[in-house]
């Protein structure tokens, strides 16, 4: 009697630390994420397209032969993120809850930043990288008639949040591994600057996907309307993750970081403590003005413990978690935010509007600067 051949065993998982997309025999496979938890996840990637001064001038003046290169590249990047599983064969199809692609023209390049969000079983780093890559390819396509040598460079993941492995930030990873100047972690960074902003939402429940973040998108929309290249909202749990997000943002060189949530009196409301640990200088008048803005309609606005201040060259402002508190805070920020950012980066005081009547003389040392008109400087 002929024995029935035994079924070939299933290839074993790779050993710990191995490549997860290869089984023990070296064959490519799609990782099974069935047993992973569904959590809120974000990823941010950056890249640059090096271009000539002529292209920079055309981009700033909207004079390229093919039209608005930046708007076209932005839409292409968003489309690229959504089509990632079609381009990267072992990437899981995910329901993306948000994709933002921002492009900033510097003196030598177009800097691209993509932030992708989902609530699912696996991360969105590949979607963020694809968004940057497709946006960069589109920039090259739009400018090649003027600059055939346009070069795509420095595409990389900067941060990821959520999942079993937790949060990861390129700056903290470099510090933890003791990266030397010759390491790839020390490669030139995508330039950030005064007109860049990050929104951070501090909420245990929003980070766990219990409910959607509503305040963060309001802040991001306002910052973009004021001319800031804005990323986020980056949703993190309360407490230590907020401090980690702030430190990474300061190290990355954002001009502005606005947080929402975690400013009240519950045991988990620790955003002010996380912020104070990062700040070099506080700006008490800003926090007071934000509280005062809402007091007339909502007396409990007095319970907000939010702070504002400067860390390095980054302006950090805490807003409450409620959408009403966010709107009150934005009404305050709109009045002086660009001026404050300009001063942090060495700008002079703006002349105060002329006023008449008693009590209009500038205080000693102000020389009629914007401080006499209640500027937060």
Active site residues: 141
Determine if the peptide bond prior to 213 is cis (ω within 30°).
no
CB-based contacts of 286, cutoff 8 Å, min separation 6: 308, 317, 332, 376
- Helix/strand/coil for 107: coil
215, 323 Cβ separation under 8 angstroms: yes
Report residue 284 CA to chain centroid gap.
25
**Cα(369)–Cα(375) distance, rounded to whole angstroms?**
9
H-helix segments, 46-116: 53-61, 69-82, 84-87
The sheet carrying 196-202 orders its strands as 229-236, 196-202, 256-260, 314-319, 308-311, 281-282
* H/E segment holding residue 325: helix 323-344
């Amino acid at each position: 009697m002929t024995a029935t051949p035994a079924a070939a065993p299933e290839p074993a998982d790779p050993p710990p630390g191995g490549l997860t997309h290869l089984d023990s025999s070296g064959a490519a496979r799609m990782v099974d994420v069935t047993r992973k938890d569904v959590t809120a996840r974000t990823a941010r990637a950056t890249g640059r397209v090096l271009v000539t001064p002529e292209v920079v001038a055309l981009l700033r003046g909207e004079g390229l032969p093919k039209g608005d290169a930046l708007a076209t590249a932005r839409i292409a990047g968003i489309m690229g993120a959504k089509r990632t599983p079609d381009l990267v064969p072992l990437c899981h199809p995910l329901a993306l809850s948000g994709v933002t692609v921002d492009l900033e023209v510097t003196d030598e390049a177009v800097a691209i930043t993509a932030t992708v969000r989902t609530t699912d079983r696996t991360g969105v780093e590949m979607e963020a990288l694809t968004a940057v890559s497709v946006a960069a390819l589109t920039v090259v396509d739009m400018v090649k008639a003027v600059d055939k040598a346009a070069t795509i460079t420095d595409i990389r993941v900067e941060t990821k949040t959520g999942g079993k492995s937790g949060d990861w930030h390129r700056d903290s990873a470099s510090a933890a591994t003791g990266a030397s100047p010759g390491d790839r972690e020390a490669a030139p960074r995508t330039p950030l600057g005064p007109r860049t902003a990050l929104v951070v939402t501090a909420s245990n429940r929003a980070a766990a996907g219990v409910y959607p973040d509503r305040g963060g998108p309001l802040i991001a929309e306002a910052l973009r309307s004021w001319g800031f290249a804005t990323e986020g909202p980056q949703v993190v749990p309360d407490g230590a993750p907020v401090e980690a997000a702030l430190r990474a943002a300061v190290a990355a060189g954002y001009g502005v970081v606005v947080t929402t949530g975690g400013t009240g009196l519950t045991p988990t409301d620790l955003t002010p403590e996380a912020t104070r640990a990062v700040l070099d200088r506080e700006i008490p008048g800003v926090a007071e003005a934000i509280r005062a803005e809402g007091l007339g309609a909502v007396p409990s606005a007095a319970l907000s413990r939010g702070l504002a201040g400067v860390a390095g060259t980054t302006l950090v402002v805490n807003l409450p978690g409620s959408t009403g508190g966010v709107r009150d805070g934005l009404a305050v920020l709109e009045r002086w935010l660009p001026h404050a950012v300009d001063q942090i980066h060495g700008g002079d005081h703006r002349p105060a509007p002329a006023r008449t009547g008693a009590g209009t003389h500038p205080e000693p040392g102000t020389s009629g600067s914007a401080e006499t008109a209640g500027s937060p400087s």
